[in-house]
Chains A and B, each alone.
Chain A
Amino acid sequence: MKIKSLLSIFLKEDFRNFIVIFWTFVFPLIFFLFFTSLFGNIGNGSENSSDMEFRAGIYFEKPPTGLAKEISQGLVTGLGDKNSGGPFENIYVSSFDEGIQLIKDKKLEIFIVFPENLDMLNLKVVLSSVPAPVVKSYYRSDSGSDFARKIFKSVLDSVNVEFYKRISSAEYTLEVQELNKKASDTFSYKDYLFPSVLLMSILTVSIFNTPLSLAYSIEKGITKKIFTTPIRSGHFLTVVILENLILLGISILLIYIEGKLMGVSPKAFSAKYIAYLFMNVITLISVGLLMLSVFRKLSAVNVAANILYQLMMFLGGLFFDVSHTPMIIRWFVYINPVSYMAQGLRNIINGMPLGFLNYFVPLVWIGACIIIFSLNFKKVMNYE
Chain B
Amino acid sequence: MNNRFLNLVKFFFLETFKNKSEVFYTMFFPVIFLLLFGFIFGLGDTQHQEENFEYGLVFSSGYLSDTNQSSESAYDTVKAFFDPNKLDIYADNESLKNAVLSSKVDAGIIVDETSKVKVLYNSDPANMQKITWIKFAGENAIKRFLYGAKKDYLSLSSENIGTGRVESNQMDFLLTGIIAISILSGGMFSVINTFGRYKKLGVIKKFMVTPIKSNEFVIASSFNKILLNFFSIVIIIILGKVIYHMNYSFDWPMLIIVCLSSTLGMMAFGILLMVLFKELEVAQSAASILMTVMMFFAGIYFPINIIPGYIRWVSYILPIKYVADLLRHVAGVESMNITTFWLINIIMAASGIILLSLTSRQLMKDQARN
| Chain A positions near chain B (C-beta within 8 angstroms) | 17-19, 22-23, 27, 30-31, 34-35, 37-38, 41-43, 47, 50-54, 71, 75, 87, 100, 103-104, 109, 121, 124-125, 128, 132-144, 146-150, 152-154, 156-161, 163-165, 168, 170-181, 185, 187, 191-192, 299, 302-303, 306-307, 310-311, 314-315, 317, 320-326, 328-329, 343, 346, 350
Contacts and interface: CB of A to CB of B under 8 A. Distances in A.
Contacts of B218: none
A175 B143 CA distance: 12
A175 B121 CA distance: 11
A299 to B, nearest CB: 5
Nearest to A318: B126
10 contacts: A121-B154, A141-B334, A150-B50, A164-B147, A174-B139, A178-B123, A180-B123, A187-B125, A315-B36, A320-B41
B281 interface: yes
A172 B116 contact: yes
B147 A170 contact: yes
Contacts of B308: 37-38, 41, 51
Given A134-B156, A143-B301, A306-B25, 9 more contacts: A147-B303, A157-B144, A160-B154, A179-B123, A310-B32, A311-B36, A326-B43, A326-B44, A329-B35
Contacts of B302: 143
B368 interface: no
Which of B33, B279, B334 is packed against the most chain A CB atoms within 10 Å?
Answer: B334
B242 interface: no
A181 B296 CA distance: 30
B163 A160 contact: no
B342 interface: no
Given A18-B282, A165-B143, A134 B116 contact: no
Contacts of B181: none
Contacts of B168: 141
A317 B126 contact: yes
B154 A326 contact: no
B144 A135 contact: no
Contacts of B46: 324
A171 B146 CA distance: 9
B142 to A, nearest CB: 8
B101 A136 contact: no
B115 interface: yes
A175 B116 contact: yes
B149 A132 contact: no
A157 B172 CA distance: 28
B292 to A, nearest CB: 7
Interface string B154-170: 11111111110000111
Contacts of B289: 27, 30
B95 interface: no
A12 to B, nearest CB: 17
A93 to B, nearest CB: 14
B39 A38 contact: no
Interface stretch (B5-13, B128-136, B198-206, B352-360): B128-136
B276 interface: no
B78 interface: no
Contacts of B103: 323
B280 to A, nearest CB: 9
B161 A140 contact: yes
B115 A179 contact: no
Given A51-B306, A143-B170, A323-B103, A160 B152 contact: yes
Given A146-B48, A324-B46, A34 B156 contact: no
Contact of B296 (A22, A38, A100, A311): A38
Contact of B128 (A51, A187, A315): A187
B90 to A, nearest CB: 14
A152 B159 CA distance: 13
B39 A326 contact: yes
Contacts of A125: 153
Interface in B65-121: 97, 100-101, 103, 115-121
A163 B281 contact: no
A159 B154 CA distance: 8
Interface in B335-360: 335
Given A18-B282, A157-B136, A140 B306 contact: no
Contacts of A141: 160, 162, 168-170, 172-173, 333-334
B127 interface: yes
A165 B146 CA distance: 9
Contacts of B119: 174-177
Shortest beta-carbon contacts, A-B, top 5: A144-B303, A181-B123, A164-B147, A43-B128, A154-B136
Contacts of B33: 310
B143 A172 contact: yes
A163 B155 CA distance: 13
B173 A306 contact: no
Given A19-B281, A50-B309, A326-B43, A153 B156 contact: yes
Contacts of A177: 118-121
A75 B156 CA distance: 12
B367 to A, nearest CB: 20
B305 interface: yes
B163 A54 contact: no
B154 A18 contact: no
B316 interface: no
Given A140-B161, A153-B156, A180-B101, A170 B115 contact: yes
A141 B292 CA distance: 24
B132 A37 contact: no
A192 B289 CA distance: 22
A132 B20 CA distance: 64
